[in-house]
Amino acid sequence: METKEKNNKRRLMGIVVSDKMDKTIVVRVEKMKAHPKYKRRFKTHTKYLAHCEGNEFNIGDKVVIEESRPISKRKKWKALPKETK
């Protein structure tokens, strides 16, 4: 019998804005929202702390982050390695 692995983890793409911590990067993810009444679209952003085991990303790099188990109080995302994108 073949078992299929469910992968319901969210993936987001963003830009690294800080890499000063050890094994942690700060990723800024932008998204477009529409105003509920006026329907005008505008940009919003959110910063996520992501675990980066090899410290392979620098400021300005585009990175894909994936949801994971809680690693610390605010760190609940993992940065995917460059070659798996």
pLDDT of residue 69: 96
pLDDT of residue 84: 54
Please indicate, yes or no, if residue 64 is contained in any of the structural domains.
no
pLDDT tens digits for 27-66?
A: 999 999 999 999 999 999 999 999 999 899 999 999 999 9
**With DSSP H G I counted as helix, E B as strand and the rest as coil, what are the percentages for the chain, rounded to 5?**
5, 50, 50
Chain-centroid distance, C-alpha 70: 14
Please indicate, yes or no, if residue 68 is contained in any of the structural domains.
no
Please indicate, yes or no, if residue 77 is contained in any of the structural domains.
no
Please indicate, yes or no, if residue 32 is contained in any of the structural domains.
yes
Check whether 6 has a pLDDT greater than 90.
Answer: no
Please indicate, yes or no, if residue 76 is contained in any of the structural domains.
no
Structural domain count of the chain: 1
In terms of residue numbers, what domain contains 41? 10-58
Q: What is the CATH number of the domain that holds 47?
A: 2.40.50.140
Check whether 3 has a pLDDT greater than 60.
Answer: yes
Beta strands in 1-85 (DSSP E): 11-18, 24-34, 41-51, 62-67, 75-79
The model's pTM is 0.85
